Amino acid sequence: MAQNKVVPINHNLTMLTDFYEITMANGYFTNGFEDKITYFDMFFRKIPDGGGFAIMCGVEQLVEYLERLRFTDEDIEFLRSKKIFDEGFLSYLQNFKFSCDVWAVPEGTPIFPGEPIITVRGPVIQAQFIETMVLLCINHQSLIATKANRISRAANGRAVMEFGSRRAQGFDGAVYGARAAYVGGCCGTACTICDQKFHVPALGTMAHSWVQLFDSELEAFRAYAKEYPSNCTLLVDTYNVLKSGIPNAIKVFNEVIVPQGYRPAGIRIDSGDITYLSRKARKMLDEAGFEDCKICASNSLDEYIIRDMLIQGAKVDSFGVGERLITSSSEPVFGGVYKLVGVEKEDGSITPKIKISENVSKITTPCFKDLWRLFDRETGKAIADVITLHGETIDDSKPYEIFDPEHIWKRKWVENFRAVNLREQLFRSGQNISKQRDLQEIKDYCAKQVDTLWEEVTRFENPHEYYVDLSQNLWDIKNHLISEHTF
C-alpha cells in the first residue's frame, strides 16, 4: 500500500504543473524546438470585485520556485512510468537547468488589466513549463492582497487583522494568504507560522472556549488578565455583551490590570449587532474611566460591512477579518493568464505572436514589451500606464500623446510628467538577480503606490477606468496582425 506523505511548504514543486505542459515539452523536444527562444507574458483581464485596480503580489514565492526548479530521479521515473515520453526528452529533463530571463512588476504595485506583469524569455520547453506555477503564485497572492487593500481602505485608518487561517483553502493558502494580506494593508495575522516565516506580526488573545472552560466569565477574565496583564484584550460576547461581558471586563480591569500599573488593551466583540454593541460598550468603558481601552470587532466582516458600520457610527478601533479576506469569497478567482507573445529568430529579431478571439478582451498584445507609468510631477498622481515595445523609451522631458487602444480617436497630450519603467528583471540566463526586499518595505511601498492613484480609481462602486495605453509602434504591430489573421 502506498504511503501518504505530507508535502512541506518548501518542497521542490517542479512537478506542480499541468500535465499538458509536459506533453507539449516532449513534443517540442521531438520536433527539435528545445532551444527555440520564446517570450511569454502573464497578464489579467478583470479586476476582482469590480474594483479600479489590483495589487501585485507573490513574486518572492515565484523566485523561490524558479531557483529550485529541477527534476529528481523520482520525477523522471514517474514520467517514464507513463510510457508516452521520449527517452531523449527524459534525459533532457534529468539534466535540466533553468536558463530563462524573467521580468516582473514589483510586489505591492497597483496593476491593471492587460498589462504584462510577468514576462519570461527563454527556451520554449522551460518558458512553457513554468506557466502553472507563475499563475498559481501571482494569481493567489495578488487576489488576497487586492482584497486586503480594499478592506483596509474601508477601515479608514483603523487596524485590520487577518484572522482567516482556519477558513483558508489549504495550509499554503493560509500562510501565503496571510503574507499577501499584510502586503495589502493588514497590520498582522492570527497565523503563527506566517510570523515565523515572514515576520508578519502574529496577533490574538482568546476564544469563546477559554471563557466557557471556567465556572464563570468573571473567573475566565481574571485568569487571563493575571497571565497577560500588559496586553489584556477580553472577548466579551460569549454570554451577553452588555449585561455580563463589559461589566465583568471592567471589574477585572479595576481588580487586576490597574493595580499592577497597566492599562487594559481592549475588548473584542465577535457577534450580534456590533455597531449598536460597540456604541454601548464605548459609553460603558468611558464612564468607567477606560477611555483608552480599544474595541475590536470580528465576525464575517468585509469591506462593505466595515464601511457601513463606520457610517452608522460604530465605535470600533480595529477589525479582525477572516473567511471573506483569506478566500476573497466575493470573487475568489484572480484570472491571470500566460500567453506566447513572440518567438526569437536566429538573428535575434523577434516574430510577434498574437491570439485572436471574437471576444475582444481575449485578444492578446504581441511582442516583447516594457510597461511604463506616467506620474504628474505636480501632484505625484498616476496619469496612465503605457505598454511599449521593449527598448522603446518615453521621453518625459517633452509632451507625450496617449490614446485609447480600442477607441483610437480618444487622444490626450500629457505634459509635466515623470515616466517610470515599472518592471524589474528577476532572472538573467537562469541566475537570480532580483533585489531582496523586507516584507515591511513591500507593505510600505504598496501603501505609497496606492496613494498615487486618484480617489476616482480607488472607490468601490463604479471606479474610474484607469488608462492603460499602447505606444503607437506597438499598436501598429498589433493592428497589423489582427488584420492579417481576420481578412
Between CA 367 and CA 404 the distance in angstroms is 19
Q: How far is CA 168 from the centre of its chain?
A: 15
Determine the 3-state secondary structure of 355 from DSSP: coil
pLDDT computed for residue 487 by the predictor: 61
Those residues whose C-beta lies under 8 Å from the C-beta of residue 267, and which sit 6 or more positions away, are: 233, 234, 235, 236, 245, 246, 249, 281, 285, 293, 294, 295, 296
In the chain, what are the domain boundaries? 19-144+332-486, 148-326
pLDDT computed for residue 465 by the predictor: 95
Between CA 172 and CA 58 the distance in angstroms is 12
Between CA 156 and CA 160 the distance in angstroms is 10
Of 389, 378, 386, the residue nearest 411 (C-alpha): 386
Task: pLDDT tens for the chain, 487 residues: list them.
Answer: 344 444 445 578 999 999 999 999 999 999 999 999 999 999 999 999 999 999 999 999 999 999 999 999 999 999 999 999 999 999 999 999 999 999 999 999 999 999 999 999 999 999 999 999 999 999 999 999 999 999 999 999 999 999 999 999 999 999 999 999 999 999 999 999 999 999 999 999 899 999 999 999 999 999 999 999 999 999 999 999 999 999 999 999 999 999 999 999 999 999 999 999 999 999 999 999 999 999 999 999 999 999 999 999 999 999 999 999 999 999 999 999 999 999 999 999 999 999 998 888 889 999 999 999 999 999 999 999 999 999 999 999 999 999 999 899 999 999 999 999 999 999 999 999 999 899 999 999 999 999 999 999 999 999 999 999 999 999 999 999 999 987 6
CA distances, 443 to each of 154, 371, 382, 452 (Å):
17, 22, 19, 15
Widest CA span in the chain: 85
Between CA 144 and CA 327 the distance in angstroms is 7
- Superfamily (CATH) of domain 148-326: Aldolase class I (3.20.20.70)
* DSSP H helical ranges for 203-339: 208-213, 217-227, 246-252, 274-287, 303-311, 323-326
Please give the grid coordinates belonging to residue 312: 452608522
Opening angle at CA 331, ends 328 and 335, nearest 5: 105
Of 206, 165, 211, 223, the residue nearest 189 (C-alpha): 165
Of 392, 371, 365, 382, the residue nearest 482 (C-alpha): 365
Contact present, 65 and 137 (Cβ < 8 Å): yes
Between CA 309 and CA 224 the distance in angstroms is 29
* Residues recorded for the chain: 487
pLDDT computed for residue 84 by the predictor: 97
Q: For residue 291, how many other CB atoms are within 10 A of its CB?
A: 9
Contact present, 56 and 43 (Cβ < 8 Å): no
Between helix 303-311 and helix 274-287 the angle, nearest 10°, is 50
pLDDT computed for residue 10 by the predictor: 57
Q: What is the dihedral of CA 132, 134, 137, 143, to 10 degrees?
A: -100
pLDDT computed for residue 2 by the predictor: 45
Whole-angstrom Cα Rg for the chain: 26
pLDDT computed for residue 338 by the predictor: 98
Opening angle at CA 176, ends 174 and 178, nearest 5: 65
Between CA 392 and CA 389 the distance in angstroms is 5
Those residues whose C-beta lies under 8 Å from the C-beta of residue 74, and which sit 6 or more positions away, are: none
Between CA 217 and CA 251 the distance in angstroms is 11
* Identity of the amino acid at 36: K
Of 182, 129, 112, the residue nearest 23 (C-alpha): 129
Between CA 120 and CA 427 the distance in angstroms is 9
CATH number of this structure's domain 19-144+332-486: 3.20.140.10
Between CA 237 and CA 233 the distance in angstroms is 13
pLDDT computed for residue 278 by the predictor: 98
Between CA 270 and CA 128 the distance in angstroms is 47
